[in-house]
Amino acid sequence: MNFFSHRQTNLLRARAAAFALAASASAFAADYVDLRRIEPIDGDAAAGAQKAAVCFACHGPNGNAIVPTFPKLAGQRADYLYHRLDAFKHADPKDPYVAQLPMLAIVASLNDIDMRNLAAFFAAQAPIAAAPAVAAPAAAEGETIFKQGDPARGVPPCAGCHGADANGVAATDSRQYLAWPALRGQNAAYVISRLNNFRDNLPHSSSNDFIMHGVARTLDDGSIQAIAIWLASLSPQPAH
């Protein structure tokens, strides 16, 4: 059997093309991945289950992380999960931000098929609320920014890309949206840390990272916190 599926080969080609692009446009990191025209991943959830136990230590039972600094994986889009794993796998270990990520050691022992299978497994798990919903006053402000944005500050409505119910946009019309994540019910501390990283342009390895860098640089600390509190207060549902 050919080890590389045609999908993997396409991805490698995209990487090579991106490398050529990087040579002429130094604004892009060398291992820049274009996620605008990806194929849906084709993982085997049952095979993924065989490798998932090690993940539960940080991401909680079946991917429902209890410790709020870790992201929940249960019910997230499989394509998003796979491309995040692939990004960790190809991240530059010499980059100081990358070097401190616990995921680096985790992906070292996974091959491409394992990552597809794990993504399919976690996407198929029922998401559950880790803690009772928080009803902080800031949540109302977060909901407004999420749904309407803030034109005065150049903040786009998050709902345009993450869905009106924060559960992702239907990816049936265009492959462009396949790896766009659902956010509903995600842990607040993780969302705050990730938005801060996007704002600082970390990580910076895919076309999707660049999209979120542009969004996050319009957000101040108060907005980030309000949005995160509102998202965490929503009852989780599997992503669209």
Binding site for ligand HEC (CB under 6 A): 54-55, 57-59, 70-71, 73, 81, 84-85, 101-103, 106, 118, 155-156, 158, 160-162, 179-181, 183, 186, 191, 193-195, 206, 208-209, 211-212, 215, 219, 227
**61 versus 160: smaller Cβ distance to ligand HEC:** 160
| Helix, strand, coil abundance in the chain, percent, nearest 5 | 50, 0, 45
Cβ of residue 3: shortest distance to ligand HEC, in angstroms? Answer: 20
Please say whether the beta carbons of 155 and 219 come within 8 A. Answer: yes
Is the Cβ of residue 13 or residue 153 nearer to ligand HEC in the bound state? 153
* Contact (CB, 8 A) for 122 and 111: no
- The residues, ordered by sequence, that sit 6+ positions from 149 with a Cβ below 8 Å of its Cβ are 155, 156, 157, 158
**Residue 23 C-beta: closest distance to ligand HEC, Å:** 23
| Shortest Å distance, C-beta 54 to ligand HEC | 5
Cα distances from 159 to residues 149, 186, 224, 227, in angstroms, run: 9, 15, 15, 12
CB of 20 to ligand HEC, least distance (A): 22
User: Which of residues 22 and 103 has its CB atom nearest to ligand HEC in the complex?
Assistant: 103
Residue 137: Cβ within 10 Å count: 8
Of the candidates 206, 190, 196, the one whose C-alpha atom is nearest the C-alpha of residue 84 is 206
Q: Which residues contact 239 (CB under 8 A, 6 or more apart)?
A: 75, 76, 77, 123, 167, 168, 181, 182, 184
What minimum distance in Å lies between the beta carbon of 204 and ligand HEC? 9
- The CB-of-194 to ligand HEC minimum distance in angstroms stands at 4
19 vs 150, beta carbon nearer ligand HEC: 150
- Residue 124 or residue 155: which is nearer to ligand HEC going by CB? 155
Closer residue to ligand HEC, CB minimum distance, 71 or 75: 71
Instruction: Give 150's strand partners.
Output: 155
3-state DSSP assignment of residue 206: strand
Query: 72: buried, middle or exposed (CB in 10 Å: 19+, 13-18, 0-12)?
Result: buried
